[in-house]
Structure 1
Amino acid sequence: MSNELIINSTQNGCRIALLKDKKLAEFHQDDDGHQFNVGDIYLGSVKKVVPGLNAAFVDIGYEKDAFLHYLDLGPQLQSLMKCTKQVLSGKITGKNLNGFKRLPDINKLGKMNQVLTKNQRVLVQVVKEPISTKGPRLSSELSIAGRYLVLVPFSDAVSVSKKIGDSNERKRLLRLITSIKPENFGVIIRTVASGKDVAELDRDLSGLVEKWSSGMQKLKKVKPNEKVIGEMNRANSILRDVLNESFDSIVVDDKELYKDVKSFIHDIAPEKEKIVKLYTGRVKMFESYGIEKQLKGLFGQSVSIDGGGYLIIEHTEALHVVDVNSGNKSNAEDNQENTALKVNLDAAKEIARQLRLRDMGGIIVVDFIDMRKAENKKLLFQKMKDEMKTDRSKFTVLPLSKFGLMQITRQRVRPEVDIKTREVCPTCDGTGKITASILVTDQVEKDLEHLLMKQNEKKLTISLHPYLYAFFTKGLISRQWKWYFKYRRWVNLVEDSSVPITQYNFLNGLGEEIEL
């Protein structure tokens, strides 16, 4: 199976697509103006303690106060508060915790008003981004994630990912990390650390400790509500978490981003540096790789299933509902039970993919086609669990209920990815009445003549819908060639299926859009 990561730079950040065998497996949008990413650590200010919820609302600079529950404080809250206070007052640097005397753990069954008071400053970490009308969700049990390890301040515990099943490997990693970890820091060993040598793990650990040291140095100067330690950008965090031996290429279309990604790969996996490539094609990168078309087909309310059948996906405030339909598959098998099983198994694969693509979280209820045989229901349940295994978010899958419904819970830490696949007609603005759409070709030629003859543009490119592109380029002597004979200047045409059929854009020689 080939794995490719395509990173498209946009005006506001970047779009990231993970392709598995050319099929879109994950899609992320990284907005430069977006704050409060999962993993960011802030110096928060307690605004309100609510005994009834056993929680506090903390100001970290978001328009709504963030939520911090007592169970998310972490047992070593008092040690964290002591360290924060001493760093802010200049008594200690906090760069390393050698010799730091930890305080006793807080009571697991205690109350929030026993440990936090209004206007108190506390270090907090974002564990769930702002979603809908809710502010961020916080924790005071800080952790800093690396490629192979996760660093946990004010702890001595070393734990290994449950996904590493080899007992000898688990013992090796435990022994190795225990011998190199610094004092008063706990470590969680990630699944990808399996088989890695001490040099790689030590380099990763040193990087995490350095990140903590930089944060403590910054803490002396920050004001309340400011970021102390920031998580890396979305592109690099995805690379850190998913990069493995099966990756064939990482393609970036922006020189600065290319340098950034290459530098990051050089630090975490030098042997993979050669797979990072800079895209220089004329056609838009997402268009060239067929991603734009896949996005249009995968984010609608109705989604087709390989081999027939389709899904209807509805979203509500409380949960997500998926309905499985057989469509034209109904006559493919010899009886109804086999047809239902075949469609349901195909649907399970697509549903697992959709959950990752849209980053759907919370409760998902799937209405599969009814089946009578218990063994078929068990087979479907196992298929769903197998397809979900590669999901990086925590999830739970329950067996089919007697009503034929399957319940899935999936950890939700950031807003769901939503791409509008229904286009509002640019001519009628959704009223349903437009002038004849064929006139768009005449308008293109009028605008072209104006730019070439009146504004004397030397080098023009027109970005337009594939249908219009075909209209202007097909034929023995195409309209594109007729323009050349008429104006003595070549006009480049670029297909862009992300724009509606009646919309087009003129670009100058620098690639900047020309306002008409």
Structure 2
Amino acid sequence: MSNELIISATQDGCRIALLKDKTLVEFHNEEEGSKFSVGDIYLGSVKKVVQGLNAAFIDVGYDKDAFLHYLDLGPQFSSLAKFTKQVRAKKINGGKLDKFNTEPDIDKHGKITQQLTKAQLIPVQIVKEPISTKGPRLSCELSLAGRYLVLVPFSNAVSVSKKITSGEERKRLLRLIQSIKPENFGVIIRTVAEGREVAELDRDLRNMVSTWEEGMARLVTANPRDKVIGEISKTSSLLRDMLNESFDNVHVDDKKIYEDVKAYVHSIAPDKEKIVKLYTGKAKIFEHYGIEKQIKSAFGQTVSLKGGGYLIIEHTEALHVIDVNSGNKSNREENQETTALSVNMEAAKEIARQLRLRDMGGIIVIDFIDMRNLDNKKLIYKIMKDEMVEDKAKSTVLPLSKFGLMQITRERVRPQMNIATKEVCPTCNGTGKITASILVSDLIEKNVEHLLVKQNEKNLVLALHPYLHAYFTKGIISQRLRWYFKYKRWVSVVMDSSMAVTEFKFLNKEGEEIQLT
């Protein structure tokens, strides 16, 4: 299975497409200066403490105050609050924690009023971007993600990803990290750390500690709402999380982004630097790799399946609804049950791709085609579960209900990706009405007379849709020939298939369009 990352520079950022076997599975539109990315750490100011919700609203610079629940303060909140005060009072120099005396963990069943007061300044991390009318969701359990490790300040625990199943490897990694980690820093060992040497893990750990210390140096003079530690770019975070042996190529069409990506890949995986390639083709990079067409076909309300079926995807404020239809598939199979199973299997795979592609979060309800066989229902459930394994967002998939509905909850950390796939009709400009086709020839005739007789145009060119072109040029004595006999001047008539049926335009001898009043 081949993995390719295609990066296209735009005027205000870049577009990033992840391809698996040439099929688009993830699409991101990254704009420069866009605020509130997941992972960013801000110096927040407490605006309001709400005892009834056991939560607080924090000002981080967004229109709506961000939400911080008591459970998101983290066990080490007292240590974070104490450290913040000492750093801002310049009692601690830098972000080193080796000489810092940590506080006891807070009570997990405690009250928000015991920990926060109005106008208090506290570092907070974005865990969910602003969505719809809601502000960002925050956490005070700060963490910095690296390629192989996740650094957790004020903790001393070292844990290993559950996906690393080998007992010996787990012990090796625990022993390694405990020997190299700084004091008062906890570490989570990621799945990709399996089999890695101590030098690679140590370099990753040092990079994160350095990022922490730089951020804490900014904290000394930071104003409320200021970003203290910024998450790396979307391109880099995708590479950090996904770069592995199956990654084949990273194609970039911009020299600056190419240099940045190459430098980043060199820093995290020097042996992979050669996979970063600068695209210099004449066609646009998304056109060349067939991504533009895939985007247009994948983001519409109706999504076609290769076997003949189709999905209808509706988005509401509360949930997403997906309806599975058989289309013309019903003509091919032996019976209704076989048809339903065939379409549902294909739909399950496409739906898993769509959830990831559009970054649909919250509650998703899928109306599969009704099936009577219990084993077939279990098979669809298994396929959906298997397809969702590669999705980085946390999700829960429930079996099909007796109504043939499947419910999925998927972690929502940023607004759903939405791309307009419908275009304004070039003929009616969205009004739904066009010029009466029977009058078009008369209108062209009047304009020809006006331009040749009154404006004395020479070398006149008339551009038309192929249908109208045939009307004016075919026949023994064509309309164009009649114009020559009448006005003693030749009018060149050219075809333009991009024009609508009733559309036309006149060009002068320099090839410029003549504006008709």
Match of 2:367 in 1: 367
Give the drift of 1:429.
Answer: 3.7
Shift of residue 21 of structure 1? 1.0
- Checking the alignment, whether the CA contact within 8 Å between 1:252 and 1:258 is kept in structure 2 is yes
Rounded to whole Å, the distance in 2 between the matches of 1:326 and 1:293 is 23
Contact kept in structure 2, 1:83 and 1:94, CA below 8 Å = no
Q: Structure 1 CA distance, aligned partners of 2:79 and 2:423?
A: 54
- Structure 2 counterpart SS, 1:333: coil
CA distance in 2, matches of 1:252, 1:98: 42
CA positional deviation for 1:333: 2.0
The residue aligned with 2:147 is 147
Residue 109 of structure 2 aligns to a residue whose secondary structure is: coil
Is 169-178 or 206-215 further displaced after alignment? 169-178
1:273-324 deviation line (CA, Å, top 9, x unaligned): 0010111111111111111011110000000112221100000111100111
For 2:105, the equivalent position in structure 1 comes to 105
Alignment-derived partner of residue 71 in structure 2: 71
Matches within 5 A, 1:60-139: 60-139=60-139
| Contact 1:38–1:126 under 8 Å retained in 2 | yes
Partner residue of 1:339?
A: 339
Q: Which runs of 5+ in 1 are unaligned?
A: 443-466, 472-495, 497-501, 503-515
Match of 1:50? Answer: 50
CA contact (8 A) 1:236 1:261 kept: yes
Q: Determine the C-alpha separation between the residues in 2 that align with 1:286 and 1:113.
A: 52
Q: Aligned partners of 1:373 and 1:344: how far apart in 2?
A: 13
* Matched ranges for 1:107-256 at <5 A: 107-256=107-256
1:39, 1:126 within 8 Å by CA — same for their partners in 2? yes
Post-superposition shift, 1:337? Answer: 1.0
- Once residues 205 and 51 of structure 1 are traced to their aligned partners in structure 2, the CA distance between those partners, rounded to angstroms, is 39
Equivalent residue number for residue 351 of structure 1 = 351
> Paired residue for 1:322?
322
| 1:436 CA displacement | 9.6
TM-score normalised over the length of structure 2: 0.84
Pair 1:392 & 2:392 matched:
yes
Alignment of 1:410-421 (within 5 A): 410-421=410-421
How does 1:459-478 map onto structure 2 within 5 Å?
Answer: none
Unaligned runs of 5+ in 2: 445-464, 470-497, 504-514
Quick one: distance in 2 between partners of 1:93 and 1:420? 51
The two structures, once aligned, show a CA RMSD in angstroms of 2.3
User: How far does residue 247 in structure 1 lie from its aligned partner after superposition?
Assistant: 1.1
Which residue of structure 2 lines up, in the alignment, with residue 280 of structure 1? 280
Residues 1:12 and 2:12 are matched in the alignment: yes
Residue-by-residue CA offset, 1:448-496 (whole Å, 9 max, x unaligned): xxxxxxxxxxxxxxxxxxx99xx9xxxxxxxxxxxxxxxxxxxxxxxx9
8 Å Cα contact 2:38-2:413 kept in structure 1? yes
Match of 2:432 in 1: 432
The residue aligned with 2:268 is: 268
Instruction: Give the whole-Å Cα distance in 2 for the aligned partners of 1:87 and 1:3.
Output: 44
| Residues 234-279 of structure 1, C-alpha deviations (whole Å, 9 max, x = no match) | 1111111111111111011111111100000000011110010111
Whether the 8 Å CA contact 2:94–2:214 is kept in 1: the answer is no
Q: Distance in 2 between the 1:105 and 1:429 partners? A: 64
| 2-structure distance, mates of 1:202, 1:151 | 12
- Displacement after TM superposition at 1:2 (Å): 1.2
Residues 290 and 183 (structure 1), Cα distance of their counterparts in 2 relative to 1, 3 Å cut: same
- Cα distance in structure 1, aligned partners of 2:431 and 2:188: 57
Does the CA contact (< 8 Å) of 1:309 and 1:328 recur in 2?
yes
Distance 1:140 1:425 in 2: 50
CA distance in 1, matches of 2:76, 2:430: 57
> For 2:419, what is the secondary structure of its paired residue?
coil
- For residues 286 and 111 of structure 2, the distance between their equivalents in structure 1, rounded to whole angstroms, comes to 52
Q: Secondary structure at the match of 1:382?
A: helix
Q: Residue in 1 aligned with 2:479?
A: none
Contact 1:25 1:353 in 2 (8 A): yes
Once residues 222 and 435 of structure 2 are traced to their aligned partners in structure 1, the CA distance between those partners, rounded to angstroms, is 58
- CA shift for structure 1 position 434: 4.5
Asked whether the equivalents of residues 42 and 226 of structure 2 are also in contact (C-alpha less than 8 Å), the reply is yes
- The alpha carbon displacement at 1:331 in A equals 2.6
Provide the rounded CA distance (Å) in 2 between the counterparts of 1:325 and 1:384: 17
- Residue in 2 aligned with 1:300? 300
1:428 Cα offset (Å): 4.1
* 1:228 match: secondary structure: strand
1:376 counterpart letter in structure 2: N
What is the alpha-carbon distance in structure 2 between the residues aligned to residue 314 and residue 163 of structure 1?
35
The one-letter amino acid paired with 2:46 is V
Q: Quote the Cα distance in structure 1 between the aligned partners of 2:411 and 2:164.
A: 22
What SS does the corresponding residue of 1:389 show, helix, strand or coil? helix
Equivalent residue letter for 2:11: Q
Indicate conservation of the 8 Å contact 2:72/2:139, yes or no.
yes
The residue type equivalent to 2:23 in the other structure is K
Which residue is 1:480 aligned to?
none
Distance 1:382 1:94 in 2: 51
Per-residue displacement from partner, 1:74-111 (whole Å, max 9, x unpaired)?
A: 01111000101100010002421002111111111111
The residue type paired with residue 52 of structure 2 is: G
**1: distance between equivalents of 2:22 and 2:100?**
52
Q: Distance in 1 between matches of 2:93 and 2:426?
A: 59
The AA in structure 2 aligned to 1:346 is: E
8 Å contact from structure 1 (residues 5, 251) kept in 2: yes
* Contact residue 38 and residue 231 of structure 2 kept, 8 A: yes
For the structure 1 residues 92 and 19, does the alpha-carbon distance in structure 2 shift closer, same or farther, using more than 3 Å as the test?
same
Question: Identity percentage over the alignment?
Answer: 71
CA shift at 1:426, angstroms? Answer: 5.2
TM-score for both structures, normalised by structure 1 = 0.84
In structure 1, C-alpha distance between the alignment counterparts of 2:330 and 2:79, rounded to whole Å:
63
